[in-house]
């Protein structure tokens, strides 16, 4: 005969602490709290967690018994092992969130007592914080406020002594509680000492990274990027902004060409430090809010003079950071549109490196450059010859050029198809210069930008991605040459939307149509810019500026004093609230004994309703647990006699009976 102890799926036999309405509300809140993570974790995690939530929902509606502890333990171990096998770990951002999702949903299967509900709701608050590790957008913040309100309402509902609260009452009370805490939250946010860097730390690779420039370039890469209207960064100028012809945002520079693609190569090893540079003219002072892109470069107006903390300038004059950028970041920069790089002290090794070409291929292009060189003209004149060719020949600027293949693709582009996007022109021009013996390199970044008419900042989108060339000329150094401007001057003057026709696959926002939907999108972008520029970027510098504007100049002393006063106030307030909420010791010995009796029964799942009398409660316990009949009826009789009889009774008999009453749960009995 099989023992029941070996059936791990059997019911625990407990009477649920929550009624059906409260339990369904709890499941719904848990689903809402976890919902954004369902879109981030692997599909199997979402299916696992979703199946558990569905199982618990149907089981609540049909009054199914909960599984036994062995079955629950097996599910938990299976979830733990699955996360470890999938991620190779159980901690960290992605693995930790996946494990937390599975364990929280499994916790529903043993949520019977009041403490289980409290633990699950407290964990829900913690899960809300984890969402900020993946997204800090204002939409996410609004979602978290809503979810926090729902969790607070569930706390109130679970602690209500007589069943589920009406939804309206529950929501109103939760809202009032959050409003009471709002002033303290604002004070803590504004006054608490800030630490450098993002408050949420640096997420792992890919958490926040968006589409952006790559560390290599081949035809089609930038034209694909230009078909996205995602924001790359936003700029606010403190000085008059430069004109369109000077709005070149410098990114990675490519020196090496292997016949298929361009890459940075060994330039930074040949010259590990920044190049020799001289600035002239008026500087442009501006602040840039970068969106996360997962690379180690900073886009700056060509050419940057200031180097932010934690950044450096590489051999090509581009700003780099030590680690890939996975967080939104606000930096203040200074650039000089008029500059000379390596005009006086060129690095000869770099110049030789910038003349290298593959040993063979694209022979027609090589012959054309050789003809220019044999004409006896200087390097500047050869540059003019190439630009004149692009300007006078029937070249076309388009996002949808005909394919040129890989082998001899520059020949096919220059002499056959003659249509392409900026990377085609930058690549072909740089190849021609190198074939003529002129040092040349490809620069990628962004060109132009769009001012938001509702404010004073510029939006630079992925559709503004651009590629151009730089050549080294004697006594002038590295000079920017944009062959695209020779083919399509409108690209530089009016942006990509002014250079492409209506049949090109340009995204909606990049077209800058000015219609109602476009204006609404710009208003929403303004809201996001304000959110990013103040709330998310509120670090030590902004805090110092804010307190200085408030007349609180001595930042350290002010913060210490305010923090001390706030801590003292909160401590005294907490002591007062705890004192008021302390359980009052009942002076009636019979009532104290009865409360102990009810607490013991609640521990095995038999909770007395607030309106339930002693005899009714006793009969319900006896019907549920007949083996407790003798002890329960004796205790009820003693309590009723002490409370409601006119004769004097000794309360010690009741106290002794309650002490000796040790009920066990049905699963153990």
Q: Is-cis flag, bond preceding 303, omega within 30?
A: yes
Query: What whole-number distance in Å separates Cα of residue 584 and Cα of residue 606?
Result: 24
Which three-class secondary structure state does DSSP give residue 643?
helix
The more confidently predicted of residues 378 and 609 is: 378
Name, in order, each residue with C-beta under 8 angstroms of 500's C-beta and a sequence gap of 6 or more.
397, 398, 399, 506
The more confidently predicted of residues 155 and 217 is: 217
- 598 included as an active-site residue: no
The more confidently predicted of residues 12 and 33 is: 33
Least confident of 53-57, 201-205, 660-664: 201-205
Confidence of residue 557 (pLDDT cuts 50, 70, 90): low
pLDDT at 184 over 60: yes
Note if the pTM is more than 0.75. no
Q: Which two tokens stand for residue 134?
A: 């993946």
pLDDT at 316: 92
DSSP class per residue in 562-611 = HHHHHHHHHHHHHHHHHHHHSPPPPS-HHHHHHHHHHHHHHTTT-PPPTT
- Taking CA atoms, 248 is separated from 36, 131, 304, 464, in Å, by 37, 36, 11, 10
pLDDT at 536 over 70: no
- 422 included as an active-site residue: yes
Query: What whole-number distance in Å separates Cα of residue 426 and Cα of residue 27?
Result: 57
Confidence of residue 518 (pLDDT cuts 50, 70, 90): confident
Q: Which two tokens stand for residue 41?
A: 């974790």
Name the nearest CA neighbour of 166 among 174, 175, 157. Answer: 157
DSSP class per residue in 93-128 = HHHHHHHHHHHHHHHGGG--SHHHHHHHHHHHHHHH
Mean pLDDT within 447-468:
92
pLDDT at 148 over 90: yes
- Taking CA atoms, 502 is separated from 199, 477, 550, in Å, by 44, 40, 52
Q: What stretches of 89-220 show up as alpha helix (H) in DSSP?
A: 93-107, 114-131, 138-158, 167-191
Which three-class secondary structure state does DSSP give residue 304?
strand
* Residue 430 CB neighbours (<10 A): 30
Helix (H) or strand (E) holding 236: strand 231-237
Residue-wise pLDDT for 623-644, tens only, equals: 988 888 999 999 999 888 888 7
Strand-pairing partners, residue 341, are: 277
Catalytic residue, from 131, 339, 424, 466: name it: 466
**Residue 202's Cα: distance from chain center in Å?**
10
Mean pLDDT within 538-556:
69
Confidence of residue 413 (pLDDT cuts 50, 70, 90): very high
Query: What whole-number distance in Å separates Cα of residue 604 and Cα of residue 634?
Result: 19
pLDDT at 14 over 80: no
pLDDT at 10 over 60: no
Q: Are 625 and 668 in contact (CB under 8 A)?
A: no
Q: Are 315 and 273 in contact (CB under 8 A)?
A: yes
Which three-class secondary structure state does DSSP give residue 165?
coil
Catalytic residue, from 422, 424, 464, 525: name it: 422
Catalytic residue, from 157, 314, 411, 482: name it: 482
- Report the residue count for the chain: 669
pLDDT at 12 over 60: no
* Residue 381 CB neighbours (<10 A): 11
Mean pLDDT within 464-473:
96
- 148 included as an active-site residue: no
Q: Exposure pattern of 605-630 as b/e (b: 16+ CB <10 Å)? A: bbbbeeeeebeebbebbbeebeebee
Q: Are 172 and 78 in contact (CB under 8 A)?
A: no
The more confidently predicted of residues 415 and 24 is: 415
Phi, psi of 24, deg, nearest 5: -65, -40
Name, in order, each residue with C-beta under 8 angstroms of 603's C-beta and a sequence gap of 6 or more.
113, 663
pLDDT at 13 over 60: no
Query: What whole-number distance in Å separates Cα of residue 328 and Cα of residue 513?
Result: 28
Query: What whole-number distance in Å separates Cα of residue 389 and Cα of residue 393?
Result: 6
Residue-wise pLDDT for 308-322, tens only, equals: 888 999 999 999 998
pLDDT at 324 over 90: no
pLDDT at 205: 46
Query: What whole-number distance in Å separates Cα of residue 627 and Cα of residue 571?
Result: 49
pLDDT at 134 over 90: no
**Residue 642's Cα: distance from chain center in Å?**
63
Query: What whole-number distance in Å separates Cα of residue 202 and Cα of residue 94?
Result: 13
Compute the mean pLDDT over every residue in the chain, rounded to the nearest whole number.
85
Name the nearest CA neighbour of 233 among 495, 460, 464, 444. Answer: 460
pLDDT at 488: 93
Query: What whole-number distance in Å separates Cα of residue 271 and Cα of residue 478?
Result: 15
* Residue 269 CB neighbours (<10 A): 8
pLDDT at 302 over 50: yes
Helix (H) or strand (E) holding 484: helix 483-487
pLDDT at 1: 37
């Amino acid at each position: 005969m099989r023992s029941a102890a070996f059936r791990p799926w059997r019911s625990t036999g407990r009477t649920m602490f929550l009624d059906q309405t409260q339990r369904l509300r709890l499941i719904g809140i848990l689903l809402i709290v976890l919902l954004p993570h369902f879109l981030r974790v692997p599909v199997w995690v979402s299916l696992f967690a979703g199946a558990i939530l569905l199982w618990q929902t149907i089981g609540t509606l049909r009054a199914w018994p909960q599984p036994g502890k062995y079955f629950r333990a097996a599910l938990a171990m299976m979830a733990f092992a699955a996360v470890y096998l999938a991620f190779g770990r159980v901690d960290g951002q992605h693995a930790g969130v996946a494990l937390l999702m599975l364990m929280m949903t499994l916790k529903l299967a043993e949520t019977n007592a009041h403490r289980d509900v409290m633990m699950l709701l407290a964990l829900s608050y913690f899960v809300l914080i984890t969402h900020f590790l993946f997204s800090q957008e204002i939409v996410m913040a609004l979602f978290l406020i809503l979810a926090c309100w729902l969790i607070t309402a569930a706390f109130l509902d679970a602690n209500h002594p007589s069943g589920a609260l009406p939804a309206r009452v529950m929501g109103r009370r939760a809202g009032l509680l959050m409003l009471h805490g709002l002033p303290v939250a604002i004070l803590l946010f504004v006054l608490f000492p800030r630490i450098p860097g993002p408050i949420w730390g640096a997420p792992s690779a890919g958490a926040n990274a968006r589409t952006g420039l790559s560390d290599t370039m081949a035809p089609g890469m930038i034209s694909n990027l230009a078909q996205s209207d995602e924001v790359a960064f936003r700029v606010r100028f403190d000085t008059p902004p430069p004109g369109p012809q000077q709005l070149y945002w410098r990114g990675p520079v490519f020196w090496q060409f292997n016949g298929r693609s361009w890459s940075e190569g060994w330039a930074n090893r040949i010259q590990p430090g920044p190049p020799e540079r001289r600035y002239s003219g008026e500087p442009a002072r501006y602040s840039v809010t970068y969106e996360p892109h997962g690379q180690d470069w900073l886009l700056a107006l060509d050419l940057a003079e200031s180097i932010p903390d934690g950044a450096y300038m590489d051999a090509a004059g581009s700003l780099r950071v030590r680690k890939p950028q996975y967080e939104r970041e606000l930096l203040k920069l200074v650039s000089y549109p008029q500059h000379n790089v390596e005009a006086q002290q060129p690095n000869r090794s770099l110049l030789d490196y910038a003349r290298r070409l593959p040993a063979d291929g694209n022979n027609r292009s090589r012959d054309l450059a050789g003809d220019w060189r044999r004409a006896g003209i200087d390097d500047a004149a050869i540059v003019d010859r190439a630009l004149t060719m692009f300007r006078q020949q029937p070249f076309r600027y388009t996002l949808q050029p005909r394919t040129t293949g890989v082998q001899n693709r520059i020949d096919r582009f220059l002499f056959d198809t003659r249509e392409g996007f900026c990377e085609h022109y930058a690549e072909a021009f740089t190849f021609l210069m190198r074939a003529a013996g002129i040092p040349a390199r490809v620069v990628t970044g962004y060109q132009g930008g769009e001012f938001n008419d509702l404010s004073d900042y510029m939006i630079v989108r992925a559709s503004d991605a651009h590629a151009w060339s730089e050549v080294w000329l004697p006594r002038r150094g590295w000079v920017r040459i944009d062959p695209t401007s020779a083919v399509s001057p409108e690209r530089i003057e009016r942006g990509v939307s002014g250079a492409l026709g209506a049949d090109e696959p340009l995204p909606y926002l990049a077209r800058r149509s000015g219609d109602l939907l476009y204006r609404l999108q710009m208003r929403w972008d303004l809201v996001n810019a304000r959110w990013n520029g103040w709330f998310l970027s509120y670090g030590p510098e902004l805090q110092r500026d804010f307190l200085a504007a408030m007349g609180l100049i001595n930042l350290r002393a002010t913060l210490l004093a305010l923090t001390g006063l706030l801590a003292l106030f909160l401590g005294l307030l907490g002591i007062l609230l705890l004192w008021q909420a302390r359980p009052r010791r009942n002076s009636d010995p019979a009532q104290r004994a009865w409360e102990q009796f009810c607490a013991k029964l609640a521990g095995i799942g038999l909770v007395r309703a607030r309106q339930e009398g002693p005899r009714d409660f006793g009969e319900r316990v006896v019907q549920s647990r007949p083996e407790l009949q003798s002890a329960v009826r004796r205790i009820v009789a003693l309590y009723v006699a002490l409370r409601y009889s006119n004769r004097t009774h000794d309360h010690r008999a009741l106290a002794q009976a309650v002490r000796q009453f040790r009920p066990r749960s049905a699963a153990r009995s």
